[in-house]
Amino acid sequence: MAMTRSQRIGAATLAAAALAAPFEGLRQWAYRDPVGIPTICFGSTRGVQMGDFKTKAECEALLTAEMDAAISAVERCVPGLPTQMLAAWGSAVYNLGPVLVCDPFRSTAARLLAEGRLLEACDQLPRWNRAKGLVLPGLTKRRAAEQELCRA
């Protein structure tokens, strides 16, 4: 029996959070990421101020809510992707923002996804391993894991 849309989105959200969390790591006190952006929990940056603190439960809830928003953005821009691809792109969008999958003028991956060239789009993920122009080894490893899931 095929999954419903809601089941597929739910499964992708769980898989994307499970993929992203180890790469992001849990930090309950706000810190500056490698390029200086105030960050907390599992890589959350929205509204974070240095000195902020969140409980583990608050961090887990924040990850779930923000990953759900990332998955929803992917589903809105590229509806109907298989669960594993939705999860891979959701993890990447959680980290990079929706331009990756939604803006074919600024992202080759988005253009390929829009054209239905899904596996070619997966192969674009490793290119998104920079922050403010710097190649970050953690992003390189994460994009490789996302690419592997995307192509599964």
Tens digit of each residue's pLDDT (9 = 90 or more) over 79-111: 999 999 999 999 999 999 999 999 999 999 999
Q: What local confidence, expressed as pLDDT, does residue 80 receive?
A: 95
Beta strand ranges found along the chain (DSSP E): 27-32, 38-41, 130-131, 134-135
The average pLDDT across 102-126 equals 97
24 is catalytic: yes
State in Å, rounded, how far the first CA of the chain is from the last one: 20
The Cα 79–Cα 99 span in angstroms is: 15
Tens digit of each residue's pLDDT (9 = 90 or more) over 1-24: 788 989 999 999 999 999 999 999
Q: Can you tell me whether residue 27 is helix, strand or coil?
A: strand
From 33, 52, 103, 123, the catalytic residue: 33
The Cα 52–Cα 46 span in angstroms is: 12
Considering the four listed CATH numbers 2.30.30.180, 3.10.20.90, 1.10.530.40, 1.25.40.10, the one that applies to the domain covering 5-151 is 1.10.530.40
Q: What mean pLDDT is reported for the chain? A: 96
Asked if 139 and 129 count as a contact pair (C-beta separation under 8 A), the reply is: yes
Tens digit of each residue's pLDDT (9 = 90 or more) over 132-144: 888 999 999 999 9
Q: What local confidence, expressed as pLDDT, does residue 131 receive?
A: 87
- Residue whose tokens read 């993920």: 125
Whether 35 shows a pLDDT value over 90: the answer reads: no
Token pair for residue 107? 């992202």
Domain boundaries of the chain, sorted by first residue: 5-151
DSSP 4: P
From 24, 66, 68, 146, the catalytic residue: 24
**CB count, 10 Å around CB of 46?**
9
Whether 28 shows a pLDDT value over 90: the answer reads: yes
